[in-house]
Amino acid sequence: HTLAAPRLHSDDTTMPLIVGGRGSTKTARLWGYLGVGARRNETGQWVEHPPSVVFEFTDSRESKHPIRFLKHYQGYLQADAYSGYVAAEFMLRRQFRVRICPIVADSSPHIRNDPQTKVASGMSSMKAAW
């Protein structure tokens, strides 16, 4: 059902994976795929795709995991610039475009407006591109 959505939002986050019986851990990943969007039916009316989510736990961030999941997906993918999507040529096959939106530092209290921070530097670059 999720892979039938016109648009997928994808992201991953780290999770600890217990290794062996010693209690040590390694970094694993939890991938989230949110299927949403609307498309036209045979009569030309817009029909909403019921939102759905799939979570996948993997032992690594290797590109083989999203490649396998997205192998037959034909819609639009909205995601970060993770190189695994590029490795799968997923973005290239679908003429993926990245849109840079303006971010206002004052709108978020945890983003300092200090020119020395990476966030401020990145925001300056985005403002110049915008």
The per-residue b/e assignment along 75-102, b for 16 or more CB within 10 angstroms, e otherwise, is: bebbbeeeebbeebebbeeeeeeeeeee
pLDDT in tens, 61-91: 998 998 889 888 888 888 887 777 766 555 5
pTM of the model: 0.65
Strand ranges in the chain using DSSP code E only, listed in sequence order: 7-19, 24-36, 38-40, 46-48, 52-58, 76-78
- The residues spanned by each domain of the chain are 2-99, 102-130
Per-residue model confidence (pLDDT) at position 55? 96
Cα 102 from Cα 96, distance rounded (Å): 20
The band of 13, judged by pLDDT with boundaries at 50, 70 and 90, is very high
| 61 phi/psi in degrees, rounded to 5 | -105, 20
Cα 128 from Cα 119, distance rounded (Å): 14
